[in-house]
Amino acid sequence: MKAEGDTSKAGNTSKPRGSMGDASKTGKGEDAIPKAGKTNPVAPIELNLSGQGRLHVYAKAKNSPIAIKGGDTSGMWDDQDRVTWYILGGNFEADEALIPKNDMDYVELSFLGLPKVCLINIARFMNIPMREMADLVDLSTKTLERKKNDDPMDKVVSSQAIEMASTLAHGMKVFEDQNKLNRWLSKDNRALGDKKPLELMGTPTGIKLVNNILTRIEEGIFS
């Protein structure tokens, strides 16, 4: 961890691997997150899930390791519950007892309120700015910026964040590559009325449509 934090002291202006490009500019919003290391981010946020103890959520760096892991990645994305939790901020290699086990666990997390950092992690996974994420969850950028990283979001925003992460996990199962998935999300799609899949991620109905298209691709139907 120290090696990354010391890059600015020796006059080295290169960005640490996995850091946000604008992290030194404003200190607001997404840029307020502590820099993450190459393996595990710092400062976990604890969520108390009944009957399951404490779940840890981390601030993820852009292009965090599992998204760029080399070698044979076949089957890595098949466990969509685990991938969903990873995208929200969990540890991909966490013990089974430290990840949500089913839909009811996610319902409970929605009522508890996911921390703001989960939205930041989703935005970083999709490589979009926080102002675009704010639009997707129907919040003003200023409102989102005022919140601390561990401030809980309301149940509606929390539920939407979970559905977005689940859809991204579905996309990773289909494309098995984060960059390919993000390019697909950002391209006009004829099956979606020439809208970008990303544009539809702001409503439950839109998320359902995006998942339907991903399922068609899985089944070999071009979309």
What is the model's pLDDT at position 46?
84
Burial category of 7 from C-beta neighbours within 10 Å (exposed 0-12, middle 13-18, buried 19 and up): middle
Which tokens go with 20?
A: 């946000």
User: Is 18 inside a domain boundary?
Assistant: no
Look at the chain and report how many structural domains it folds into: 1
What pLDDT does residue 31 have?
Answer: 41
Domain-embedded: residue 8: no
Q: Is residue 63 included in any domain, yes or no?
A: yes
Q: Is 26 inside any structural domain? A: no
Q: What is the mean pLDDT of each run of 10 residues along the chain (223 residues)?
A: 43 39 40 40 73 76 54 71 91 78 90 95 95 96 94 96 97 93 96 95 96 94 75
Domain with 52 in it: 43-218
Distance between CA 3 and CA 13 in Å, rounded?
14
